[in-house]
Amino acid sequence: MRAGAWAEATDAFMETYNLLPDEWSYGILAAICWIKAADLTAPRQFLNQTMNKQKRDSIEYYLYRLFFDLSGRVYAGENDMLFRVDRETNPETKARLLFYLANYYDIRGNQNLANRYFIQSRELNQRAMPEWRLNEWIIEARGIMPY
């Protein structure tokens, strides 16, 4: 992922997701890389299947839904996610959500919002979350925050 080898990153995250299907983040990471490797519609079937495995009121469901809608070029889930991120009180969960929201806006081409959410995710300083290192690499590559 750091090197922009999107197809290989997709395969790696899919393999991990298949080994650990309860670790929802690997499915989202696979979808992000898949979209960047191919096009928006490529992971639509996968996202639909994984989304439907989540509880409908869970944050995981809404994240999968966000990227599912994106893959269909419908942007209906944005407000739901923004509301949920704003109301989240757990710092690790909030940092993770901000990271995924940043990727969503990056894929949509809104670099200003993407950068804003990557930085906000970092500012929560949740170094134990799996997305921490990925977020650091993205921030470094974009040159949006000095170290």
pLDDT digits (tens, 9 = 90+) for 31-43: 999 999 987 788 9
What is the residue extent of each domain of the chain? 1-78, 88-147
| Position with higher pLDDT, 75 vs 3 | 3
Please check whether residue 115 is in contact with residue 95, taking contact to mean a CB–CB distance below 8 angstroms: no
Q: Is 73 helix (H, G, I), strand (E, B) or coil?
A: coil
Question: Cα dihedral sign for 83, 50, 31, 9?
Answer: positive
Helices 59-71, 78-87: axis angle to 10 degrees equals 150
- Residue 137's pLDDT is 94
pLDDT digits (tens, 9 = 90+) for 114-146: 999 999 999 999 999 989 999 999 999 999 975
